[in-house]
Chain A
């Protein structure tokens, strides 16, 4: 005798399998196509700048450098990372201009970037991507994305649409405040005398397990000079990079690595908020850059300066911008690594000048 078809059993199968499948699709973000993803940022950069195969989608123009970090041992009190033990650690790095245009004119922006990869012989490596602004202009990933849309130059005028910009700053008054503070300190005259900042907060953990919230900066040994009043000619496309290259050839360039320690109440989750200037700062050593090489030949082109490649002894903060940077850099890295590489604006001929 044939038993009736077990409908409840069959329904259970359908429901269980269906729920697992739907949850998977949901987790992958396919049900929320308007939510921000790493790809939305990279797509936006590509939309704004065009696709330049083999180049970073942001900070596309750059030059590779190398040298060493001489730790004075002071950092070991704060962090057990081997990079802070007294001694020398080889480094590679990359100076860059922000934006997705690999052949942009240096005069087009006062913002400059520096990525550094510390490679201690024992222990874990450390990567950091810094810029010369004291704080990050935008409080959240969403605010950063919205400004890419709102403050993009109008193709007709070459300037951002005033209405859109106004609406953006009305929505994010904290961004207006941060930008005002940034603009109160004019940029220095070149890469070689710029201060580069971690922007996001991180946690240092020492050998005793004590924790401290910190931000760090590379402060130039060369005195900061304001950008010369004789504005560089627009035609002098690579004037900042050329000055950097000439500087390195003349004499190694140096920066002090300064660790700023937070006090209770200082924000560790919002890089657009400054910490008061009286915070304790510790000089943990000197970064020396003595070699420069074009991206065309340097393997550093294929280093992702992911700010979350951290050694034991440095931990990330919960700043969503920090997590977003790591995620978006990774997406940009994945796209460009699979592309054939076009020549860099800073050519081997340029770096040998």
Chain B
């Protein structure tokens, strides 16, 4: 899903600057966005049904708060970006084409100013998502490659052994959420 999000961000940013490939990118962007929305719903249900693996002991209370907040922000943006995109096309009186004959209904009334506002919102939220993603990536890589505390165990369903003897190997959890 991280790969999908990143792909989506790249398609989005390339699309608005693109001339000759614009239509191919848009045709990918719409269904991929809806797929992310559906997966985001699955994730939230999964998260409600499972217990989160604990943070490694190397993280201070402040770091844990920041990490949790950034996770919540990522979740919020995963929902908001597709919804704003869908709503924006609805307000702009555009059909919401997925593929072939499959298209989605409008979720907002046609309104030019609403379209313009949502279009801008879509861009701002996308940049925010990219920055949040980058911060998240930096933190995970830093923990894995520099602190070596096995933080990756919280994210992946396979075990990652902490390399540092200071790390807490016992934090390896079977309940890791499948990122």
- Footprint of B on A, CB under 8 Å? 3, 5-6, 9-10, 12-13, 16-17, 20-21, 23-24, 27-29, 35-39, 123-125, 141, 299, 302-304, 306, 308-309, 312, 316, 320, 322-324, 326-328, 331, 333-334, 337-338
Contact = CB atoms under 8 A, between A and B. Distances in A.
B116 interface: yes
B110 A299 contact: yes
Interface in B1-53: 6, 9-10, 13-14, 16-24, 26
Given A6-B148, A124-B103, A338-B113, A316 B23 contact: yes
B138 A13 contact: yes
A236 B132 CA distance: 58
Contacts of A328: 19
B85 interface: no
Which size bracket describes the interface of B in this complex? 35 or more
A338 B6 CA distance: 29
Interface of B: 6, 9-10, 13-14, 16-24, 26, 92-95, 97, 100-101, 103, 110, 112-113, 115-117, 119-120, 130, 134, 137-138, 141-142, 145-146, 148, 164, 166
B23 A13 contact: no
Nearest to B88: A334
B96 to A, nearest CB: 10
A99 to B, nearest CB: 21
Given A24-B130, A29-B17, A9 B146 contact: yes
B146 A10 contact: yes
Nearest to A2: B166
Given A21-B134, A38-B17, 15 more contacts: A9-B146, A12-B145, A13-B141, A17-B141, A37-B18, A37-B19, A124-B101, A312-B101, A324-B19, A326-B22, A328-B19, A337-B113, A338-B113, A338-B117, A338-B120
Contacts of A23: 10
Contacts of B116: 334, 337-338
Choose among B24, B103, B141 the residue with the greatest number of A CB atoms under 10 Å from its CB: B141
B12 to A, nearest CB: 9
Contacts of B6: 20
Contacts of B101: 123-124, 312
Interface of B, secondary structure class, is helix
Contact of A28 (B17, B93, B142): B17
Given A9-B146, A299-B110, A337-B112, A17 B17 contact: no
Choose among B6, B23, B119 the residue with the greatest number of A CB atoms under 10 Å from its CB: B23
A16 B93 contact: no
A25 B92 CA distance: 28
A153 B145 CA distance: 61
A230 to B, nearest CB: 41
Interface of A, secondary structure class, is helix
Given A12-B141, A17-B138, A124-B97, A24 B10 contact: yes
A334 B113 CA distance: 10
Nearest to A27: B14
A13 to B, nearest CB: 4
Contact of B145 (A9, A123, A308): A9
Closest 7 interchain pairs by CB?
A338-B116, A29-B17, A9-B145, A320-B20, A327-B22, A28-B13, A312-B101
Nearest to A331: B16
Contact of B10 (A27, A302, A308, A312): A27
Given A20-B134, A312-B100, A10 B145 contact: yes
Contact of A38 (B9, B22, B115, B138): B22
Nearest to A141: B19
B20 A323 contact: yes
Nearest to B23: A323
